[in-house]
C-alpha cells in the first residue's frame, strides 16, 4: 500500500491522491493536472522517476555511501558527504528553480471565467520540478545540522510549490470544465508549502486567497451564486492582506503588481456574482461576460501592443463592473441628459490647444478649449485605429464663421467648433441605469488618450496654424441613444460632428447588458 | 508651495493641482535623500523601497506632473516611478550584499531584474550580474569553493590540457571554464600572486634601472674621454 500511496502522475509528476489509490478502479485521476490514467502507467512512471533520482544521487555522493543505510552512517561522515558532495550540486539546481519560481510568482495567476492566459511561460515542466522535490526528499537523511536540514526542506517545499504553480499555468491556458477546482487544489497546496518557508508569508496569503477565489469561480459557474460571493469576499480580504505585507518584503516584493491585478479581477468577479444574485438572467450575463473576454481585437500596426496586453482587461473589467453595479442600483455612472433606450459609452475629452493667427505685427497666439467625444467601442473597428478622425467628433472639420480677413487681422478666436458636444458632456450626472440597456465600454483610458493624440497629430500635420495641444481624457460618460437597425442614432446636439464609427456600429457584436 | 492657497494653476496648457505637485516635490526630495544616503547599502535600499511605497500609495497610476512640465514626459506615473525605485533599491542591495554573501546578492539582483522586466526594460545587466554572483567554482590554486564571479573569483586565461580536464570531469564545481581556456582563481590567491608578481617586477625594474644608471655613468665618462682626445688632436 505504501508504494501505491507514493504513485505519481505520469503526465505532471504530482503525487496521486491517496483516496483514489485505495479505490479498486484501474484508473486514477491526478488531483493536480486533472488527467486520468491507468494505475499501471502511474506505477511505471514512479519506477522511472525513482531510477532518475537514484542516478542523480549516485552522481552526487561518493561510491559506497548507500542512501538506504544512510541513517547508520556516522553523522560526521554524513555531514562531510553533504557539505562536500551534495550541497554544491543542490545549490546549483536549487538556485535555478528558485529563480524560475520568483519569475513565475511575479505574474498574475488567475483568469476570469471563459478567458485564458497564454503569456505564462514557466522555465521548467512540472515533472522536472516534482522530480527535484523527490531528490530532496531522498537526500534528507544526509542533512545532519540545522542549516542543512532547513536548506533541504526549503528546496523541497519551493520545488513542490513551483511544480503546482506550473500545473496551474497550463490550466490557465485552456478554458476547460472543472479547471477552477484543480486550480484551487494547487493554490491551496502551494500555500501550504510557502507557509513553512521563511519570508514567504505574503505568498502563502496570496495563494490561499487565490484558492478561495477559484472555488468562488467554480461555484459561480455551477450556479451557486451565494457561495461564490462568500469565497470571493474571503479571497479579496486575503489578497488585500497579502498586498499590505508585500511592499518592502525582500523575498516576495516582486508579487506586488500581480496581486494588484488579481485584486481588480476579484472585484469584477464579485460584482458579476452580485449582479447574478440580483435576479438577472445568469445565462445571459455569463454570455455577455464570455463575449467580453473572448473578443477578437484588431492587432494591426502600433495598436497591437496595447490591445494584446492583458493588463488592459483590468480596466475594461472595472468599467463593466461599474455598469453592473449601476444596473444593480448599488452605484451610479455619469449619464447625459436625454431620452433613449440604449446607453452608449463615450470618452469625454477636454482639448486645450493654441493656434497662431494674424500676419506681420498682428501675429499672435490664441488659446482655445474644445470638447470631444469618442465612442468607447472604437478599439473593435480597424478603420478607427487607422484613421482616428473617424472615431472622434472631428471639431477641426468645422469652424466658427469669422469673416474673410479674420486670419490676417488676427481677430480669429478659434480654428475649430465643437458645436453642441460641450452641452451633452456637461449634462452628464451620476445616475443609475434603470431599465435601459447599456453597452459595455471596450477601450481603456490610455487607448482613448492615444487615439486623440494621433488625431491631433494628424490635424497638426495639415493645419499649420495649430501649435500646442494638450488633450485630456476626463472619463466615460453614457449618452442615451435610440436603436436604429443594428446601429444607433446619437442626439441632435452632435450636429455634423457625429463620428463615422457610429454609422459603422454593429450592436449585436457588442457586449450589451 | 505649502504657503500658497492656490488650488490649481496653469502651466502652458496643463492644469496643475498644487497639492498633488507638492506631494510630488516632497517625494522627489525623499528620493534624492534616499539615493544619497551614506548609511550602508541595506539602509539605502530600504529607504528607496520606502519612497517607492509612497509613490505607489500617494500617486498611483496618476501621471507625474514634474516630469510632464520639465521633461515633456507624459508617460511617467507614480506606479512606474515606484517600480523604477524598487529596481534601483534591489540593485543597490545586490551590489552591496555580494561582498559578504554572493547568493543573497544574486537574489537581490534577480528581484531587480524582475522589476526591470515589469517596466518593459530588458534587465540584461541585472540578469548578467545575477548569473555572475550565483556562479560557483573552485579555486585552481587553493581548492576552496567560492561564489560570485568578478567579485570573489576571476577566470584567468590558461591552457587546461585534456589530462587535467579528464581528472575533474565529474566534479560538481569545477576550477576551469567550460571551454578549458581559463582557470578560476579566488581573489585572495589572485591578489597574493598578483602582489608578489608586482614586488618581483618592481625588484627587477629597480635592479635594471640601477645597472642602467651605472652604464650611463660609464658611457658618459667614455664619451668625455673621447671628446677630450678629439680636442687634443685638433690642437
CA angle in degrees (0–180, nearest 5) for A183-A200-A249: 120
Beta bridge partners of B156: B183
Residue A213, burial from CB neighbour count under 10 angstroms (0-12, 13-18, 19+): buried
What are the start-end ranges of the H helices in A294-420? 303-307, 312-328, 382-386, 406-409
Instruction: List A residues 327-366 in contact with B (Cβ-Cβ < 8 A).
Output: 352-354
**What pLDDT is stored for residue A74 in this prediction?**
76
Task: Determine contact, residues A100/A166, Cβ cutoff 8 Å.
Answer: no
Task: Determine contact, residues A33/A24, Cβ cutoff 8 Å.
Answer: no
Chain A residues with beta carbon closer than 8 angstroms to that of B13: 352-354, 367, 468-470
Residue B196 CA to residue B209 CA, distance in Å, equals 20
Mutation target among B87, B92, B111, B119 for the A interface, most CBs of A within 10 A: B111
**What pLDDT is stored for residue A311 in this prediction?**
65
pLDDT band at B65 (very low <50, low <70, confident <90, very high): confident
**What pLDDT is stored for residue A4 in this prediction?**
46
Which of A89, A92, A99 lies nearest to residue B110, judging by beta carbons? A99
Q: Which residue of B has its CA nearest to A248?
A: B49
Residue in this structure with the C-alpha cell 516611478, named with its chain if needed:
B81
Q: Which element (helix H / strand E) includes A467? A: strand A466-484
SS3 label, residue B65: helix
Which of B13, B50, B170 lies nearest to residue A354, judging by beta carbons? B13
Chain B residues with beta carbon closer than 8 angstroms to that of A98: 107
Q: Could A88 and B172 be called an inter-chain contact, meaning their C-beta atoms sit closer than 8 Å?
A: yes
**What pLDDT is stored for residue A1 in this prediction?**
39
Residue A467 CA to residue A452 CA, distance in Å, equals 16
Task: Determine contact, residues B106/B134, Cβ cutoff 8 Å.
Answer: yes
Cell of A171: 490550466
Task: Determine contact, residues A351/A471, Cβ cutoff 8 Å.
Answer: yes
Q: Could B172 and A60 be called an inter-chain contact, meaning their C-beta atoms sit closer than 8 Å?
A: yes
Residue A182 CA to residue A176 CA, distance in Å, equals 11
| Most confident option among A255-264, B108-117, B154-163, B197-206 | B197-206
DSSP string for residues in A224-287: -HHHHHHHHHHHHHHHHHHHHHHTT-TTTGGGHHHHHHHHHHHHHHHHHHHHHHTTS-HHHHHH
Q: Which element (helix H / strand E) includes A187? A: helix A179-195
CA distance B118 to chain A (A): 8
The interface pTM score, or ipTM, of the predicted complex is: 0.73
Residues of chain B whose beta carbon is less than 8 angstroms from a beta carbon of chain A are 12-15, 46, 49-50, 52-53, 56, 83, 86, 93, 103, 106-108, 110-111, 114-115, 117-118, 130, 134, 136, 145, 170, 172-173
Which of B93, B110, B170 lies nearest to residue A102, judging by beta carbons? B110
**What pLDDT is stored for residue A6 in this prediction?**
74
Q: Could B172 and A103 be called an inter-chain contact, meaning their C-beta atoms sit closer than 8 Å?
A: no
Choose between B166 and B59: higher pLDDT.
Answer: B59
**What pLDDT is stored for residue B1 in this prediction?**
66
Q: Could B130 and A92 be called an inter-chain contact, meaning their C-beta atoms sit closer than 8 Å?
A: no
Cell of B170: 565529474
Q: Could B134 and A95 be called an inter-chain contact, meaning their C-beta atoms sit closer than 8 Å?
A: yes
CA distance A103 to chain B (A): 7
Q: CB neighbours of A463 closer than 8 A, spacing ≥ 6?
A: A355, A396, A415
Cβ atoms < 10 Å from Cβ of A279: 8
**What pLDDT is stored for residue A72 in this prediction?**
63
Q: Could A257 and B83 be called an inter-chain contact, meaning their C-beta atoms sit closer than 8 Å?
A: yes
Residue A275 CA to residue A240 CA, distance in Å, equals 23
Average pLDDT taken over every residue of chain B: 90
Pairing of strands A342-357, A437-438: parallel
Cell of B12: 502652458
Residue of A323, A352, A365 whose CA lies nearest to A456 = A352
Does A97 reach chain B within 8 Å, measured CB to CB? Answer: no
Q: How far is CA A79 from CA A56, A145, A148, A490, B34, in A?
A: 19, 8, 9, 80, 44
Residue A400 CA to residue B93 CA, distance in Å, equals 61
DSSP string for residues in A415-454: S---TTHHHHHHH-EEE--TTSEEBPP-S-HHHHHHHHHH
SS3 label, residue A216: helix
Q: CB neighbours of A334 closer than 8 A, spacing ≥ 6?
A: A428, A429, A430, A431, A475, A476, A477, A478
Q: Which element (helix H / strand E) includes A342? A: strand A342-357
Residue B147 CA to residue B128 CA, distance in Å, equals 14
Residue A242 CA to residue A24 CA, distance in Å, equals 42
Which of A89, A253, A352 lies nearest to residue B111, judging by beta carbons? A253
Residue A61 CA to residue A90 CA, distance in Å, equals 12
- Helix pair A445-462, A312-328: axis angle to 10 deg: 110
Q: Which element (helix H / strand E) includes A375? A: strand A364-375
Residue of A71, A72, A75, A213 whose CA lies nearest to A144 = A75
Does A147 reach chain B within 8 Å, measured CB to CB? Answer: no
Does A89 reach chain B within 8 Å, measured CB to CB? Answer: yes
Chain B residues with beta carbon closer than 8 angstroms to that of A353: 13
Residue of A225, A248, A208 whose CA lies nearest to A109 = A208
Which of B12, B115, B173 lies nearest to residue A88, judging by beta carbons? B173
Chain B residues with beta carbon closer than 8 angstroms to that of A60: 172
Sign of CA dihedral A311, A315, A320, A325: positive
Chain B residues with beta carbon closer than 8 angstroms to that of A256: 56
Q: Which residue of A has its CA nearest to B130?
A: A99
Q: Could A470 and B12 be called an inter-chain contact, meaning their C-beta atoms sit closer than 8 Å?
A: yes
Residue A36 CA to residue A38 CA, distance in Å, equals 7
Chain A residues with beta carbon closer than 8 angstroms to that of B14: 470
Does A240 reach chain B within 8 Å, measured CB to CB? Answer: no
> pLDDT means per 10 residues in chain A (513 residues)?
66 85 82 90 89 84 59 74 82 88 90 82 92 90 86 93 96 90 96 93 96 94 89 96 86 88 85 71 68 70 72 77 80 92 94 83 82 93 91 86 71 80 92 89 91 89 80 93 92 91 89 83
Residue A373 CA to residue A424 CA, distance in Å, equals 10
Q: Write phi, then psi, for A227 (nearest 5 degrees).
A: -65, -40
Q: Could A248 and B106 be called an inter-chain contact, meaning their C-beta atoms sit closer than 8 Å?
A: no
Cβ atoms < 10 Å from Cβ of B178: 7
Predicted confidence (pLDDT) at residue B36 exceeds the cutoff of 80: yes
Task: Determine contact, residues A473/A446, Cβ cutoff 8 Å.
Answer: no
Residue of A85, A143, A57 whose CA lies nearest to B145 = A85
The DSSP secondary-structure symbol of A390 reads: G
Q: Could B111 and A91 be called an inter-chain contact, meaning their C-beta atoms sit closer than 8 Å?
A: no
**What pLDDT is stored for residue A223 in this prediction?**
83
Q: CB neighbours of B120 closer than 8 A, spacing ≥ 6?
A: none
Amino acid at each position: 500500500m505504501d508504494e501505491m500511496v507514493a504513485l505519481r502522475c505520469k503526465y505532471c509528476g504530482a503525487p496521486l491522491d491517496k483516496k483514489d489509490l485505495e479505490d479498486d478502479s484501474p484508473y486514477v485521476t491526478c488531483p493536480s493536472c486533472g488527467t486520468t490514467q491507468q494505475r499501471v502507467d502511474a506505477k511505471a512512471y514512479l519506477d522511472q522517476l525513482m531510477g532518475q533520482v537514484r542516478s542523480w544521487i549516485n552522481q552526487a555522493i561518493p561510491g559506497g555511501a548507500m542512501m538506504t543505510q544512510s541513517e547508520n552512517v556516522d553523522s560526521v561522515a554524513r555531514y562531510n558527504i553533504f557539505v562536500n558532495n551534495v550541497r554544491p550540486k543542490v545549490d546549483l539546481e536549487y538556485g535555478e528553480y528558485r529563480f524560475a519560481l520568483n519569475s513565475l510568482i511575479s505574474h498574475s495567476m488567475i483568469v476570469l471565467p471563459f478567458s485564458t492566459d497564454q503569456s505564462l511561460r514557466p522555465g521548467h515542466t512540472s515533472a522536472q520540478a516534482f522530480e527535484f522535490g523527490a531528490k530532496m526528499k531522498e537526500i534528507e537523511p544526509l542533512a545532519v545540522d540545522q542549516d542543512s536540514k532547513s536548506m533541504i526542506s526549503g528546496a523541497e517545499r519551493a520545488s513542490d510549490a513551483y511544480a503546482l504553480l506550473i500545473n496551474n499555468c497550463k490550466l490557465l491556458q485552456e478554458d476547460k470544465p472543472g479547471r477552477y477546482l484543480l486550480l484551487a487544489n494547487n493554490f491551496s497546496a502551494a500555500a501550504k508549502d510557502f507557509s513553512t518557508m521563511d519570508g514567504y508569508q505574503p505568498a502563502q496569503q496570496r495563494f490561499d486567497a487565490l484558492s478561495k477565489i477559484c472555488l468562488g469561480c467554480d461555484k459561480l459557474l455551477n450556479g451557486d451564486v451565494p457561495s461564490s460571493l462568500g469565497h470571493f469576499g474571503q479571497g479579496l480580504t486575503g489578497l488585500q492582506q497579502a498586498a499590505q505585507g508585500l511592499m518592502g518584503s525582500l523575498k516576495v516584493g516582486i508579487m506586488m503588481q500581480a496581486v494588484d491585478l488579481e485584486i481588480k479581477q476579484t472585484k469584477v468577479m464579485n460584482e458579476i456574482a452580485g449582479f447574478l444574485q440580483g435576479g438577472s438572467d445568469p445565462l445571459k450575463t455569463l454570455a455577455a461576460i464570455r463575449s467580453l473576454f473572448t473578443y477578437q481585437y484588431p492587432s494591426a500596426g502600433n495598436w497591437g501592443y496595447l490591445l494584446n496586453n492583458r493588463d488592459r482587461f483590468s480596466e475594461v473589467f472595472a468599467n463593466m463592473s461599474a455598469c453592473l453595479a449601476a444596473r444593480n442600483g448599488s452605484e451610479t455612472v455619469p449619464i447625459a441628459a436625454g431620452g433613449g433606450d440604449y446607453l452608449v459609452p463615450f470618452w469625454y475629452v477636454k482639448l486645450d490647444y493654441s493656434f497662431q493667427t494674424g500676419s506681420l505685427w498682428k501675429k499672435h497666439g490664441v488659446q482655445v478649449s474644445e470638447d470631444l467625444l469618442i465612442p468607447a467601442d472604437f478599439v473593435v473597428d480597424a478603420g478607427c485605429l487607422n484613421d482616428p478622425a473617424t472615431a472622434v467628433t472631428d471639431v477641426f472639420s468645422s469652424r466658427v464663421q469669422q469673416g474673410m480677413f479674420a486670419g490676417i487681422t488676427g481677430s480669429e478666436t478659434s480654428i475649430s467648433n465643437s458645436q453642441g458636444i460641450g452641452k451633452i458632456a456637461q449634462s452628464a450626472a451620476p445616475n443609475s441605469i434603470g431599465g435601459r440597456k447599456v453597452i459595455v465600454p471596450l477601450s481603456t483610458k490610455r487607448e482613448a488618450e492615444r487615439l486623440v493624440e494621433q488625431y491631433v497629430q494628424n490635424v497638426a500635420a495639415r493645419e499649420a496654424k495649430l501649435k500646442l495641444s494638450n488633450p485630456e481624457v476626463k472619463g466615460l460618460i453614457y449618452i442615451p441613444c435610440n436603436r436604429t437597425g443594428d446601429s444607433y442614432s446619437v442626439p441632435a446636439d452632435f450636429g455634423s460632428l457625429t463620428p463615422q464609427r457610429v454609422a459603422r456600429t454593429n450592436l449585436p457584436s457588442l457586449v450589451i447588458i | 508651495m505649502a504657503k500658497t492657497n492656490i488650488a490649481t494653476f496653469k502651466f502652458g496648457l496643463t492644469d496643475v493641482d498644487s497639492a498633488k505637485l507638492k506631494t510630488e516635490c516632497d517625494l522627489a526630495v525623499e528620493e534624492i535623500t534616499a539615493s544619497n544616503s551614506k548609511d550602508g547599502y541595506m539602509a539605502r535600499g530600504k529607504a528607496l523601497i520606502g519612497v517607492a511605497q509612497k509613490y505607489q500609495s500617494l500617486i498611483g497610476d496618476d501621471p507625474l506632473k514634474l516630469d510632464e512640465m520639465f521633461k515633456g514626459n507624459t508617460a511617467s506615473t507614480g506606479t512606474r516611478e515606484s517600480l523604477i525605485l524598487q529596481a534601483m533599491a534591489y540593485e543597490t542591495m545586490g551590489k552591496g550584499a555580494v561582498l559578504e554573501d554572493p547568493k543573497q546578492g544574486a537574489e537581490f539582483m534577480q528581484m531587480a531584474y524582475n522589476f526591470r522586466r515589469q517596466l518593459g526594460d530588458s534587465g540584461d545587466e541585472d540578469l548578467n550580474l545575477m548569473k555572475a554572483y550565483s556562479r560557483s567554482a573552485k579555486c585552481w590554486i587553493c581548492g576552496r569553493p567560492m561564489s560570485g564571479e568578478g567579485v570573489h573569483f576571476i577566470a584567468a586565461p590558461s591552457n587546461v590540457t585534456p589530462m587535467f580536464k579528464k581528472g575533474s570531469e565529474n566534479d560538481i564545481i569545477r576550477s576551469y571554464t567550460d571551454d578549458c581556456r581559463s582557470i578560476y582563481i579566488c581573489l585572495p590567491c589572485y591578489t597574493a600572486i598578483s602582489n608578489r608578481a608586482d614586488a618581483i617586477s618592481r625588484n627587477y625594474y629597480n635592479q635594471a634601472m640601477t645597472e642602467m644608471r651605472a652604464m650611463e655613468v660609464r658611457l658618459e665618462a667614455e664619451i668625455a674621454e673621447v671628446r677630450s682626445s678629439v680636442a687634443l688632436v685638433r690642437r
